[in-house]
Amino acid sequence: MNEKIRRATPEDTADITDMIHALAEFERAPEHCTVTETQLHTALFAKSPTVQGHVVDVGGEVAAMALWFVNFSTWDGVAGIYLEDLFVRPRFRRRGLARALLAALAGECVDNGYTRLSWAVLDWNSDAIALYDGIGGQPQREWTTYRLSGPPLAELAGPG
């Protein structure tokens, strides 16, 4: 079948939203995934989008997606890409689509003069880790990721 990587379009919003929920299920946390098509559409296609997207189209069907945003390295003084989500629908796995999406994002970095492509992976996702190791990704084991959300975020923010 014909596979084409392209930028996400508004028509892809439902498929991408569906894949985000499927990813949450895969990551054993579906109860934490509350994104709606409307929210995602706004994030991707508003006047000032907060996220970018690529999809893999296989014979007219959205088979995979990558959602990412530009970040900034204060040490390099140059922007980079942070890959927020990468997902391949189960029936399209083992065809090189995840690697192709990573290559497209690497191309975005090179084309825009960005110095890095970063992402996180769950420590139990051995298939993804094998892919990332295979393309030369370097785990950043000296860093611990933190997150503040929900009531603790609101508490820290204090009275509005």
pLDDT of residue 1: 63
Q: What is the pLDDT of residue 153?
A: 94
Predicted local confidence at residue 119, as pLDDT: 96
Q: What is the pLDDT of residue 160?
A: 73
pTM of the model: 0.93
What is 36-101 written as a DSSP string?
-HHHHHHHHHSSS-S-EEEEEEETTEEEEEEEEEEEEETTTTEEEEEEEEEEE-GGGTTSSHHHHH
- Mean pLDDT by runs of 10 across the 160 residues of the chain is 93 98 97 98 98 97 98 96 98 97 98 96 95 95 91 92
| Structural domains of the chain sorted by starting position, each given as residue range(s) with its CATH number in brackets | 3-157 (3.40.630.30)
Query: Given this model, what pLDDT does residue 120 score?
Result: 95
